[in-house]
Amino acid sequence: MLSTRRLVRGLTTSLIYLVLILLCAFMILPFIWMLSTSFKMPDEVFGFPPVLISRKASFMNYTYLLEQKKLLLIVGNTFFVSLSSSLLSLFFCSLAGYGFAKHKFPGRGPLFSFLLATMVIPGAVTMVPVFIIMRTLKWVDTFLPLIIPGAASAFGIFFMRQYISSINDELIDAARIDGAGEFSIYSRIILPIISPGLVSLGLIFFMGSWNNYLWPLIILKSPDKFTIPLAIASFGGAVGLTNYNAQMAMSVISIIPLLIIFLAFQKRFVEGITAGAVKG
Amino acid sequence: MAVARTVPNVRPADTARRLTWQEILKARWAYFFIAPFYLSYAIFGLYPLLFSIYLALSDFKGLGTIRFVGLDNFRRLALDRVFWQSMENGVLLFILYVPVMLFLSLVLAVLLNSGRVRGFRFFRTLIFVPYITNMVAAGFTFKILLAKTNGLVNIALGLLSIPPVPWLEDVWAARISLSLLIIWAWLGYNMVIMLAGLQTIPADLTEAARVDGANSRQAFFHVTVPLMRPVILFCAVMSTIGSFGLFTEVLTLTGGGPMNATITPIIRIYGVAFGSLQFGYASAMAYTFAAIIFMLTILQYRFFGREG
């Protein structure tokens, strides 16, 4: 009896491992193919039999992107937009989170409920009017619409408030008694303590901005201002006219910074994602 | 600092009002700190919402005057076959990928959490990585993999003597291809959330069930799943909003699908708004869409959100 049980258990565990490995293969395959195609020649993209590393493999597509397609400019644009919008958002969200978490003031409850309520409204409704506003402000085809509107994000404030709530009140009260101004309490006490949370939230903002396609598509018109997703899409044309190799090369490049950041900050990443979904 | 002094003949209401104003003054920093959000929302949230209603009742085409046309846009919307097809696609896609994805992510989370599998970090990272890919890159890559002639998938199927599948040219195959792309991208995300949820469940509960004679499957369905209900609900709600809000992955992979088989509401709204510049009509469409989504979300919470 006992040995049959152990046999079944052993088999199940092996089965589980098999499924997991197959699943991981499914997850990795697109990346491998992306990488492989980026080093191929145009006629090899749909070559038969399929090759992983072609004999004609070269960096040609990458140099093409660098020299003829302003790769550095586009990556620079994306970095600039993602970084500035993340930092700006972190500032405003942590400030507001501190306000909600550590201050009692008339109307705090209703004001916060209102903030939560704004998260339920789908963004599609405001898409058109906000564009019209941007057009009136002459902000179309600039980076401003990608940075400013999302600066005070309801989710970010919700996250920060939750985070800051757990800070010991005595720390803050002591500082207040010592005569410290509210803003310096924020910058000298709160910010250092919540820095892991800032990283988590910052990662979410950064990644969201880096990968964003719809809004930059609406706002940016000149190729010189394109962000990476826009640039990748610009290689896609009608069947036969699409430069798949350049597309894949650009795709590889789009992933590398995020991959590095993710691998370096895995724990913070996970913390950012699970906040709001799971209590505690 | 002014101190409140009780003055004879003052009415309680006056004192209360004075105290509130003093409270507000005392807490002025808090108001400063939270002000940017409300300011920003007034400009980029509230005003657009109201302006959108106005637009929805007009035939504004991007330039010129905004002319009031009453409910014409909504009448037109009722007959807009593409729009309603896109809503139907939202439902179909939801059915195609959400149950599979949620079930898989839960099972994976339970497996990885159970300690039965070594290399937890490795598997979790690998399954999660697709989430950080931008959907343009992912969409085009899948497009290459699923190409009918000599796409890698069809080549592999050919090895098993299966004829090439028109992954992106057939109505239902395209929907399935899209579902595969979405599951690929979001499985890790949902799994990580489920994992976090599992970690809040005390291990002794499942142990207690085991002691009482339940086997693994029973423990899973009768202990784990009910306790995970809030987390599962959260993922389900996110997926609902997600499946109707798909834009990038659809536009990249199928462009709206063979004969609008995969078009989504957002793509339709975008096309009407920025393709043909019919801002008025697009606003009416967006509002109707938002209202439907909103109701669906509320329904989901009402139906499934009861604390068990």
CB A156 within 8 A of CB A273: no
Q: Give the residue extent of every domain in chain B.
A: 20-56, 75-304
Residue B216 CA: distances (Å) to CA of A5, B45, B123, B155:
13, 49, 22, 39
CB B195 within 8 A of CB B267: no
CB A242 within 8 A of CB A93: no
The stretch A223-247 carries a mean pLDDT of: 87
CB A247 within 8 A of CB A232: yes
List CB contacts (< 8 A) between A218 and chain B.
270, 274
Q: For the domain covering A61-274, report its CATH number.
A: 1.10.3720.10
CB spacing of A186 vs B193 below 8 angstroms: no
pLDDT in tens, A56-93: 888 989 999 888 889 999 999 999 999 999 999 999 99
The stretch A236-240 carries a mean pLDDT of: 71
Please report the ipTM that was assigned to this predicted complex: 0.91
CB A140 within 8 A of CB B299: no
Rg (CA), chain B: 26
**SS3 letters across A151-192:** CCCHHHHHHHHHHHHCCCHHHHHHHHHCCCCHHHHHHHHHHH
The whole-chain average pLDDT of chain A stands at 90
Residue type for position A12: T
List CB contacts (< 8 A) between B189 and chain A.
273
pLDDT band at A228 (very low <50, low <70, confident <90, very high): very high
CB B36 within 8 A of CB B45: no
Dig out the tokens for B213 from the structure: 């004679």
Beta bridge partners of A275: A278
**Residue A239's pLDDT is what?**
67
* pTM across the whole model: 0.90
**Residue B207's pLDDT is what?**
73
**Residue B305's pLDDT is what?**
64
pLDDT of residue B229 exceeding 90, the answer is: no
Nearest CA to A254 out of B268, B282, B138, B209 is that of B138
- Kindly identify which residue of chain B lies nearest to residue A265, measuring between CA atoms: B125
CB spacing of B132 vs A207 below 8 angstroms: yes
The whole-chain average pLDDT of chain B stands at 87
- Considering the four listed CATH numbers 3.40.50.300, 3.30.70.3000, 1.10.3720.10, 2.60.40.420, the one that applies to the domain covering B75-304 is 1.10.3720.10
> Of A131-135, A210-214, A238-242, B176-180, which range is least confident?
A238-242
pLDDT band at B193 (very low <50, low <70, confident <90, very high): very high
Cα first-last separation, chain A: 43
**Of B110 and B185, the one with more pLDDT:** B185
Beta bridge partners of A278: A275
DSSP type of residue A235:
T
- Interface check for A96 against chain B (CB to CB < 8 A): the answer is yes
List CB contacts (< 8 A) between A266 and chain B.
125
The stretch B235-260 carries a mean pLDDT of: 89
pLDDT of residue B1 exceeding 50, the answer is: no
DSSP three-state, residue A245: helix
Handedness of CA B183, B189, B192, B194 (dihedral sign): negative
With b meaning 16 or more CB within 10 Å and e meaning fewer, what string describes A114-146? ebeebeeebebbbbbbbbbbbeeeebbeebbbb
pLDDT in tens, A125-178: 899 999 999 999 999 999 999 999 988 899 999 999 999 998 888 888 888 888
**Residue A280's pLDDT is what?**
45
List CB contacts (< 8 A) between B144 and chain A.
33, 37, 45-46, 244, 248
Residue A144 CA: distances (Å) to CA of A129, A150, A202:
16, 10, 19
Distance CA A242, CA B25 (A): 62
Which residues 6+ apart lie within 8 Å of A156 measured at CB? A89, A90, A92, A93, A97, A201, A205
pLDDT of residue B190 exceeding 90, the answer is: yes
List CB contacts (< 8 A) between A17 and chain B.
117
CB spacing of A182 vs B29 below 8 angstroms: yes
Beta bridge partners of B58: B68
**Residue A181's pLDDT is what?**
86
Handedness of CA A85, A89, A92, A95 (dihedral sign): negative
pLDDT of residue A5 exceeding 90, the answer is: no
pLDDT in tens, B137-165: 999 999 999 998 888 999 999 989 999 99
**Residue A249's pLDDT is what?**
94
pLDDT of residue B219 exceeding 90, the answer is: no
Write the residue in A20, A95, A210 that is nearest to B123 by C-beta. Answer: A20
pLDDT band at B33 (very low <50, low <70, confident <90, very high): very high
Separation of CA B192 from chain center? 16
**Residue B306's pLDDT is what?**
54
Distance CA A248, CA B214 (A): 50
Q: How many CB pairs under 8 A join A and B?
A: 255
The stretch A186-206 carries a mean pLDDT of: 92
**Residue B308's pLDDT is what?**
35
- Interface check for A279 against chain B (CB to CB < 8 A): the answer is yes
